[in-house]
Amino acid sequence: MHQAHVAAGASFTDFAGWRMPVRYSSELAEHHAVRTAAGLFDLSHMGEIVVLGPQAADALDYALAGRLSALQQGQAKYSLLLDESGGILDDLVVYRTGADRYMVVANAANRRTVADALSRRAASFDAEVYDESDDIALIAIQGPRSLEILQNLDDLGLESAPDLPEDREEADIAHALAALRYYRALSGTFSDRPLLIARTGYTGEDGFELYTAPDDAPALWDALLETGAGAGLVPAGLAARDTLRLEAGMPLYGHELTTGVLPAQAGLARVVALDKPGDFVGRSAVEGGAPEGARVLVGLTGEGRRAARAGYAVHVPSGEPHADAPVGEVTSGALSPTLGHPIAMAYVDPALAETGTRLDVDVRGSRVPFTVTPLPFYSRKKN
């Protein structure tokens, strides 16, 4: 894929051991393209760990915070890998790709952690864990015109399609794509090579994530760019991906999520299935919820154009008592390209987490006013 990115004019950054396209032309143009048309992302750095066997579902119910046994075939779920103390080791998307087969998609930096933890935690179950990250590439197409572009892609088919005349087959895949619901996946083919087509993403827009073999990825990438050019599809890099997910209020591992954070603090209590029958790693630690006074994740919006960035201290407004002592810390922040004002996520003292609370962020020595705002900042229905 590297050559394809060079051909598209990418600048690169080193990320989790990968040379990743950070932007192709302009990250703002790429961001806007995803909000208004479509963007194409190479996410092959993500980790894919397959859990296989008669007890794969039970193993994952024990290993992860969610109830993965409840997934139907072709369904996906957002989940968390917790440690014994309830801290977050990674956030994941889990696909049930067969009765006895799951694919766990992990952040690139956590691939080994996840593969090792799953192997250990599955050891007492009739299930095998395989790290297939090197054998699976991932291309995401995100944005309101994604469906139309995929429907127009030549050589896309359904894996289980009966032997139909070519025009029927095309009608079939187009219909199946349109009918595919959010967080569902189907088995397809591209040029007769297998392809998992999932309606998932990390941008807050409609879109698809396409899992395929690394050798098949460049042809798929090129064909999508060619098919989508007229609809405004552009290649998009990590920089745009970060501002898109921030606007959509989606956490990023290493920023909003760390081993020092319990799911409840990150607003992810709903992801922990305390009602599932068996034990799971981290259960006893998270059952009581976050300890009294533990900081919680909030959204912050500011005026003007000066962004609060990761690591900046949060204070009560100047002039109020105790304005010197930090009451929180920003985990991600940027000037929102869609909204035109600064947005940030921060952990703050729970007493200050209510919507509308005025807080200051110390932006390199200047106090800049922000207001606690519900997440997400942007949703495609609302904006």
| Site residues (vs another protein, CB under 8 A) | 11, 22-23, 26-29, 31, 239, 242-243, 305-307, 309, 334-335, 337, 364
Angle between helices 111-121 and 56-63 in degrees, nearest 10: 120
Query: Among residues 241 and 283, whose Cβ is nearest to another protein?
Result: 241
Residues 383 and 378: their CA atoms lie apart, in Å, by 6
Neighbours of 84 (CB within 10 A): 10
Nearest distance in Å: CB 301, another protein: 16
Nearest distance in Å: CB 239, another protein: 5
Lay out the sheet containing 193-198: strands in order across. 156-158, 185-190, 193-198, 207-212, 137-142, 38-42, 233-235
Residues 59 and 79: their CA atoms lie apart, in Å, by 14
Query: Among residues 31 and 145, whose Cβ is nearest to another protein?
Result: 31
Query: Among residues 66 and 204, whose Cβ is nearest to another protein?
Result: 204
Q: Is the CB of residue 264 less than 8 Å from the CB of residue 287?
A: no
Residues 169 and 155: their CA atoms lie apart, in Å, by 10
Query: Among residues 276 and 309, whose Cβ is nearest to another protein?
Result: 309
Neighbours of 364 (CB within 10 A): 8
Nearest distance in Å: CB 207, another protein: 20
Q: How many CA atoms lie within 13 A of 156 on its CB side?
A: 27
Nearest distance in Å: CB 312, another protein: 11
Query: Among residues 35 and 77, whose Cβ is nearest to another protein?
Result: 35
Nearest distance in Å: CB 113, another protein: 26
